[in-house]
Structure 1
Amino acid sequence: MVKSILSSPQESVLERALGAAALRHKVVANNIANVNTPGFKRSDVVFEDKLAEAMSGGKLPLARTHAKHLAGRQGGDVSAPSVVTDTRTTMRTDGNNVDIDAEMANVAKNSIYYNAVAQQLGTYFSNLKSVIRGGN
């Protein structure tokens, strides 16, 4: 029963979002580290678009934690984040397509995103803790 409470669709999505943000930070750091590498092509992480698509299509079903709950599919699985490389653009004559200003903006944006998701996950567990203690 404890596993069912802790593995809710909300927790699963937040956990994957944190993982995506951590992966994005590594990818952006790699882009920045290779800003002067001839022929290097920048990469990015795709997750939020997949999440929005899954949510708009109603693909996040209710999780059944008991046999007498409403019928529906189990889970609430959201695709894992993926890394894509941008091979279509070139910023310089040596073939490199990393724009340092854009990458630094991506670091700031990703930090805000990570902190917001971490805060939401903390709130989720605080609420769960409150329920376990009986609302006290």
Structure 2
Amino acid sequence: MNFQEFIKNGLVRKASPDSQLLQSLLKVIDNDLSFLETVQITELSARKVIGNYYDTLREILEVIALKGGFKVYAHEPFVAFLKEKGKESIAAKFDRFRILRNSINYYGASISAEEAIIYKQELLDLISTLKKEL
């Protein structure tokens, strides 16, 4: 499904950028990243840590979409949003983590601490790349 179809289906709506909301979201993102850096990845914490890094990545995409005049009400439209902006590689990586997060949250999938360490770095790389657009 392309981005325009998500708009037609109501999963994305046009919105006016709200500078106070954007600033608030950016502060939440920075606070979350600071907190996550203090959490040690263990077998017990791995799935939650990765889920929270994914949520931070998604929040950055929310800010970018809002700045562009869109409010997104689901995770999958962000893939189409990124593709429409010509960011195919980032879209594919985001979608991979979206699917991983869904597997963890909805199907009880587990990940090892070793996998989580690798995923964390990949997520941080994506976050860093996207933060440059803020």
TM norm. shorter chain > 0.5: no
Higher percent of residues as helix? 2
Larger radius of gyration: 1
TM-score (norm 1): 0.31
TM-score normalised over the length of structure 2 = 0.31
